[in-house]
Structure 1
């Protein structure tokens, strides 16, 4: 019984974190016009979508002769695409994401989880299947899956930096990777290359604290990783600024170029910026990524 009590206390404390995250994600998702995500495009299906004029290459069998008889033009009857897509999430839960330079700012992990859950709400309620990479949460639809995603997103990792987990990615599906991408670039390059080879289209969202972009440090400073495994002390932090900013710019350029080369989309978001603007961009990026 003595062993069970601490476990139960931790479980209750962990569960208590879930409703606020879900409530914030619901509110954020509500600011975006849901519309009919992912479906208003021609393809296989039973429901009528629209008429359009005949174009070169159209088969005569696709012409709607009844509609064409009411006009001087011939029209094709298009059906609505109704095949749900699988969208897999990888959201960095490493210690580096638990950084915030100011108490008024959210941690990078908080913003990453909020955006991941909010866009999942929009996708699932638009008819898509959403899951998380790894072996524990395959893509599904429905409100129960939203609860599962909320719980999975609440887990913290122990490593200083994480690398994308490609287990469970669905061939020819879509994916969203959210991280600060401050660790080794080689695993990131390998993950995107593997995904592209399997026909997966995706989005790379880099989340940074504004201090990581500006490097406002001066004088004697001790830089220590959030996980506590790395530390560096300097008496003149300002002398490191130019080199740091050059390396950060190079990392962002490499992520952008890598995304372009693999057919993915890249965006950098700062925790000081509006979460709504980031969600709008993500939502639009998923729409743009459907043009196959």
Structure 2
């Protein structure tokens, strides 16, 4: 084969080789991270300034100089156009830490329709997608259980993705982890919150004592909201430890909905007392709206 033929062969083989290499590289990335990046890309976000003075590079405002201001802080050009001196303030841009807790209990594996995401899958997707947006904005994101302490950068997204896709827990219902949460940080808890509410109350109390603010997201399947059951029905927890049989499931609907409303009201009250926000997200709804709301809530100034 001549040199020209060899060169042509290399050129023709290059696209195929490049594609194989790209596919091999993509295969090493966790599917959850790919889905989270795709979801984050569908959300259009504008610039979100913190509108507080402090360390940073972006100009915020001029203010009149006060006694005690250093001479180097004076903007002499602006002051030259007036009868007083002005200080050029910059917008506060210090990175904050955000901690994620995603319930990995068995109850989160429920879906009322095989074509619909399980609660756990939707919760993990929202958590990682909001991490993508926050890290892009310069924040540090980690897990509340200490497995992945808050950090920034693309490598941290891989750590979070791997941690969030680890094997599910064995408990029927989960309890928030708060031991590793840093003082004065922010947190996001995603769960169905259908188990014992006492651990949730205790976790929020500890977080509040640390000056932590955040968001509670109750993730529910539409079936859990509507309770469409009729006739003889056997209800079992996802872990199989709880079971209840009834011949008239429809008769339980009103009582069930009342209990669910009571639980939601209790969660809202706990969040309010701790200085947190609360919302409910259904797996039958698009994830984009929930992601945009969460991002805005977690970036809100305290």
TM range (shorter): 0.7 to 0.9
Choose the corresponding residue for 1:255, options 243, 263, 267: 267
Task: Tell me the distance in 2 between the aligned counterparts of 1:71 and 1:238.
Answer: 76
1:10 aligned residue:
none
SS in structure 1 at match of 2:267: helix
SS in structure 2 at match of 1:104: coil
1:43 aligned residue:
53
Once the 2 structures are TM-superposed, how far is the Cα of residue 72 of structure 1 from its aligned partner? Answer: 8.2
2:278 aligned residue:
266
2:5 aligned residue:
none
Which has the higher mean CA deviation after the structures are superposed, 68-77 or 272-281? 68-77
Distance 1:286 1:72, change over 3 A: farther
8 Å contact kept, 1:52–1:75:
yes
Task: Tell me the distance in 1 between the aligned counterparts of 2:275 and 2:56.
Answer: 31
Distance 1:228 1:143, change over 3 A: same
Query: What CA deviation, in whole Å up to 9, does each residue of 1:89-141 have, x standing for no partner?
Result: 11000000000001221100010000000000011111111110223211111
Question: Could you state the TM-score of these two structures normalised by the residue count of structure 1?
Answer: 0.87
8 Å contact kept, 1:192–1:262:
yes
1:171 aligned residue:
183
1:186 aligned residue:
198
Query: What CA deviation, in whole Å up to 9, does each residue of 1:181-209 have, x standing for no partner?
Result: 00001110010011011100111011000
2:130 aligned residue:
119
Distance 1:93 1:200, change over 3 A: same
In structure 1, stretches of 5+ residues that fail to align are: 1-15
Once the 2 structures are TM-superposed, how far is the Cα of residue 80 of structure 1 from its aligned partner? Answer: 2.5
Once the 2 structures are TM-superposed, how far is the Cα of residue 46 of structure 1 from its aligned partner? Answer: 4.5
2:105 aligned residue:
94
SS in structure 2 at match of 1:242: helix
Distance 1:23 1:220, change over 3 A: same
2:35 aligned residue:
24
8 Å contact kept, 1:201–1:264:
yes
SS in structure 1 at match of 2:200: helix
Once the 2 structures are TM-superposed, how far is the Cα of residue 146 of structure 1 from its aligned partner? Answer: 0.3
Task: Tell me the distance in 1 between the aligned counterparts of 2:43 and 2:66.
Answer: 39
Task: Tell me the distance in 2 between the aligned counterparts of 1:135 and 1:49.
Answer: 36
Choose the corresponding residue for 2:237, options 216, 221, 225: 225
1:275 aligned residue:
287
8 Å contact kept, 1:90–1:178:
yes
Distance 1:106 1:42, change over 3 A: same
Question: Could you state the TM-score of these two structures normalised by the residue count of structure 2?
Answer: 0.84
1:64 aligns with 2:81: no
Once the 2 structures are TM-superposed, how far is the Cα of residue 65 of structure 1 from its aligned partner? Answer: 4.4
Distance 1:183 1:46, change over 3 A: closer
In structure 2, stretches of 5+ residues that fail to align are: 1-26
Larger Rg over CA atoms: 2
Name the count of aligned residue pairs. Answer: 272
1:103 aligns with 2:103: no
TM-align CA RMSD: 2.1
8 Å contact kept, 2:53–2:60:
no
Once the 2 structures are TM-superposed, how far is the Cα of residue 71 of structure 1 from its aligned partner? Answer: 6.0
Query: What CA deviation, in whole Å up to 9, does each residue of 1:11-66 have, x standing for no partner?
Result: xxxxx7962211110011112234455x5433332524222455xxx725366342
